[in-house]
Amino acid sequence: MADIEARLGEIVGAEHVLSGDAIGEDYTHDETLTVEPTRPAHVVRPAGAEEVAAILTLAAETGTPVTARGSGTGLSGAATPRADGLLVSFERMNEILEIDTDNHVAVVQPGVTLTELEARTAEVGMVYPVYPGELSASLGGNVNTNAGGMRAIKYGVTRHHVLGLQAVLPTGEVIRTGGKFVKASTGYDLTQLIVGSEGTLALVTEAVLKLQPRLTHQATVLAPFPDLESVARGVPKVVGSGIGPLILEYIDALTMGAITYTSGLQLGIPDQIRDTAQAYLVVMLENNAPERLDQDVEAVGVLLGELGSLDTYVLPGPAARKLIEARERAFFTARGAGADDIIDTVLPRAALPDFFAKVLEIAQGHQTLVVGCGHAGDGNVHLAVFQKDPDVRHKVLHELFATGMSLGGAISGEHGIGHEKKRHFLELEDPNKVELMRRIKHAFDPKGILNPGVLFD
């Protein structure tokens, strides 16, 4: 590895190669709860695609494993490096290369954060609408995991906004896929194959992202319900109403209590209703015309009442923002409360009532606390699992995933599989599909150097 360190220094400059004690703790993990931190042999910080290509050529020549890292905010362990490998950190590749207002796209390097892109697009009245919650996340990481978030109900997830990529193959070639156009029927869609591949097929060095007009008026409606089943049965009705919510979130009563307590948030809900409510719907709307927004708010209030809400509250702007921020931080609240794992299974909206009933049955059967919230509008359920016994916890997760899949869903809606959910993925997924994925992986990465151990053994 000493020879590799010297050769890496020739590629990126010795000051951008870290080894041994110079590798800080932050490089050893992402935010996953169950994957052990690992210190890589070297951290290398390239400044451009040519340097990334040279790094991968060297890695392929020496058979050295390579893991990509953006901001390290992932929740699947996919950014956890190998002890015998390289961690390629994209912190130096952090430029917004272009904001093209005629073609409504942004061209960014992988180290650009959501916060940085939000500030730049706001200056020109545009928005990159994918909102995974952690705004320090990098765009490269979002592309790798196909990140989603609360606004997916209206705008979709990362892959719906990636029009093109520059990427480096593990054999060292630099390719461009897609571009500043919104449709193509020209061969295989390599852009979408790389999006969500968790760093196992190629290293993304540039992304062309679709932008949307920034709407200027928002309103947030909070509706407490007597039980989670009422919330679950009401979600398809809200989605099908034509109102088009920007955000449609469910929060169970225990989670709501935890996030409001930790954030010091007072929502003004009377004690009698708060004590009765077992779940909440949060509906955020947006529009450019304030009078049309008011009409939508009124229509949502009427609909929620018909669906069985105990009441509806239009939150003042500061309270609404604070609630959304608290919901975004629900993972950290759960972690602080001692959660042992977090899952983000996804299923058809109409299957939510059956799934929640089964969640209760599984939790009670294994004497495990399972609580949470989620993107109800797109069927993405986030559950915190409190179970210290790893064997029991594995059974609980396996049954939850199997239930979701039996109802037409998938193991992960936005966090990815990574190292953390690999065992469940390999046991539950169609083996024919897994074998096809292995062949695709081999076609891109014949020496198996990119993120070995992620997705596959």
* % residues pLDDT > 70 (the chain): 100
Dig out the tokens for 337 from the structure: 């409360």
Residues 113, 137 contacting (CB under 8 angstroms): yes
Q: How far apart are CA 185 and CA 4, in angstroms?
A: 42
In one-letter notation, the amino acid at residue 49 is A
352-356 mean pLDDT: 96
Specify the pLDDT at position 162: 98
pLDDT digits (tens, 9 = 90+) for 87-104: 999 999 999 999 999 999
pTM: 0.95
pLDDT digits (tens, 9 = 90+) for 405-427: 999 999 999 999 999 999 999 99
Reported confidence tier of residue 42, pLDDT bands at 50, 70, 90: very high
CA angle 338, 339, 344 (to 5 degrees): 160
pLDDT digits (tens, 9 = 90+) for 204-256: 999 999 999 999 999 999 999 999 999 999 999 999 999 999 999 999 999 99
Specify the pLDDT at position 133: 82
Given a cut of 80, is residue 1 above it in pLDDT? no
Given a cut of 80, is residue 444 above it in pLDDT? yes
pLDDT digits (tens, 9 = 90+) for 281-311: 999 999 999 999 999 999 999 999 999 999 9
pLDDT digits (tens, 9 = 90+) for 374-393: 999 999 999 999 999 999 99
Coil, strand or helix at 365:
helix
Torsion sign (Cα): 45, 46, 47, 49: negative
pLDDT digits (tens, 9 = 90+) for 188-215: 999 999 999 999 999 999 999 999 999 9
Spatial CB neighbours of 144, under 8 Å, sequence gap ≥ 6:
68, 70, 74, 78, 195, 196, 197, 198, 199, 204, 416
Q: How far apart are CA 387 and CA 369, in angstroms?
A: 7
Tokens 């299923």 sit on residue: 347
Of 414, 349, 417, the C-alpha closest to 378 is 349
Specify the pLDDT at position 2: 65
Reported confidence tier of residue 457, pLDDT bands at 50, 70, 90: confident
Q: What is the DSSP letter of 41?
A: S
* % residues pLDDT > 90 (the chain): 98
